């Protein structure tokens, strides 16, 4: 059932909600002795695909449940689309969500399942064709859901979440259990939503998939946000490097020594020298190697992967150490 959204309490709140569909300050949730979400701060910009990453049990699903008003916070506050999570009825009509595996009537077609949902939610049935097209299921809309692959069922779940024509879509582990083809299809759907101006928050423990699709990153570990910001900024902040391959094996050690003399970390690894440095130093390395009589037959730039960045940050933010307070 849809609800009309009352005006925000202030113009500033409406502005914040438009620029940042999700804002949380010190958001916490405790279950008995377990602090599932620990003073989380979030400021998700509008129009991005935001990746919410962390290992299983890190607090992703609980945080999403808090944002959707499914559970009450123990402490802190949050706003979704400019409205407090204490009043989910004020914003849920503008939010689409897919939490865990979607449930459908297997003997009904995909289209008929969506028709049932529009009737139950008093939504515009004219949206059905549009959402089926968005998730690329138009050609299978008349087929029974029991004939769908897991990936198709997930996409139908996204279609159901899009029926209210939402401004914000929240997807909890939408690629869980999918084969590579299904993951690729879901990735295309999420990117397409952002291209339409819809803000997407997708949680996953599959870091490679998040790296492939997301613009903005929320990294959670042991219930605490250990990083938030553009994903490119995170990867750039990690130490990049160069892989230099000299023409002759005898030049491996001299090449490594040359880099070390320049204040870089370098080591010989097989037939290459791995150097920790900014990619801009590649040209200088080439010049110095040439001046030293070393011919390079290969020189490439490497960057830290999201997985490497995640472990680097979470090790630095170990809850057993005081470094956990650095977000």
81-85, 113-117, 237-241: lowest mean pLDDT where? 237-241
pLDDT tens digit string along 163-220?
999 999 999 888 877 888 888 888 888 888 999 899 999 998 877 777 778 889 898 9
Please give the mean pLDDT across all residues of the chain: 85
The CA-to-CA distance between both ends of the chain, in Å, stands at: 39
Is 103 exposed, middle or buried (CB count within 10 Å of its CB: 0-12, 13-18, 19+)?
A: exposed
Asked if 217 and 53 count as a contact pair (C-beta separation under 8 A), the reply is yes
Helical segments of the chain, H only = 11-19, 60-67, 110-121, 127-134, 150-162, 180-195, 207-213, 231-237, 252-261, 281-291, 306-316
- Give the span between the Cα atoms of 261 and 253, in whole angstroms: 12
Superfamily designation of domain 11-235: P-loop containing nucleotide triphosphate hydrolases (3.40.50.300)
Examine the pLDDT at 49 and tell me if it is beyond 80. Answer: yes
For residue 149, the 8-state DSSP code is -
Instruction: Reply yes or no on domain 239-302 having CATH 3.40.50.12500.
Output: no
| Coil vs helix vs strand at 130 | helix
pLDDT tens digit string along 128-147?
999 999 999 999 999 999 99
Percentage of the chain with pLDDT > 70? 85
Asked if 266 and 239 count as a contact pair (C-beta separation under 8 A), the reply is no
Q: Averaged over 225-248, what is the pLDDT?
A: 79
Asked if 199 and 21 count as a contact pair (C-beta separation under 8 A), the reply is yes
Q: Where are the domains of the chain?
A: 11-235, 239-302
Give bridge partners of residue 216 from the DSSP assignment: 50, 230
Domains 11-235 and 239-302 share a fold: no
Give CA angle at 164 (158, 167), nearest 5°: 85
Residues 6+ apart with CB under 8 A from 94: 5, 81, 164, 166, 167, 168
Q: Averaged over 72-94, what is the pLDDT?
A: 95
Asked if 271 and 249 count as a contact pair (C-beta separation under 8 A), the reply is yes
Examine the pLDDT at 324 and tell me if it is beyond 80. Answer: no
Six token digits for residue 155? 């996409």
| Coil vs helix vs strand at 196 | coil
């Amino acid at each position: 059932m849809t609800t009309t959204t009352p005006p925000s309490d202030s113009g500033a709140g409406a502005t914040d909600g438009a620029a940042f569909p999700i804002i949380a300050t010190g958001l916490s949730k405790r279950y008995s002795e377990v602090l599932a979400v620990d003073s989380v701060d979030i400021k998700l910009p509008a129009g991005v695909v935001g990746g919410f990453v962390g290992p299983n049990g890190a607090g992703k699903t609980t945080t999403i449940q808090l944002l959707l008003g499914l559970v009450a916070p123990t402490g802190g506050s949050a706003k979704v689309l400019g409205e407090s999570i204490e009043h989910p009825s004020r914003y849920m009509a503008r939010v689409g969500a897919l939490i865990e595996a979607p449930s459908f009537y297997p003997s009904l077609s995909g289209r008929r399942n969506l028709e049932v949902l529009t009737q139950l939610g008093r939504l515009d049935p004219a949206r059905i064709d549009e959402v089926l097209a968005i998730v690329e299921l138009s050609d299978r809309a008349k087929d029974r859901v029991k004939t769908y692959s897991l990936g198709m069922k997930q996409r139908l779940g996204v279609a159901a979440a899009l029926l209210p024509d939402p401004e914000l879509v929240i997807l909890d582990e939408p690629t869980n259990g999918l084969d590579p083809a299904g993951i690729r299809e879901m990735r295309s759907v999420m990117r397409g939503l952002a291209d339409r101006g819809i803000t997407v928050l997708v949680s996953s423990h599959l870091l490679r998939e998040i790296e492939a699709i997301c613009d903005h990153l929320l990294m959670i570990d042991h219930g605490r946000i250990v990083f938030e910001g553009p994903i490119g900024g995170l990867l750039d902040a990690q130490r990049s490097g160069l892989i230099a391959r000299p023409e002759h094996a005898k030049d491996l050690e001299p090449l490594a020594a040359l880099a070390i003399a320049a204040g870089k970390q370098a080591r010989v690894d097989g037939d290459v020298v791995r150097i920790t440095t900014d990619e801009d130093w590649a040209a200088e390395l080439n010049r110095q190697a040439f001046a030293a009589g070393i011919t390079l037959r290969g020189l490439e730039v490497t960057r830290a992967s999201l997985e490497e960045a995640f472990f680097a940050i979470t090790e630095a933010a170990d809850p057993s150490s005081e470094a956990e307070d650095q977000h």
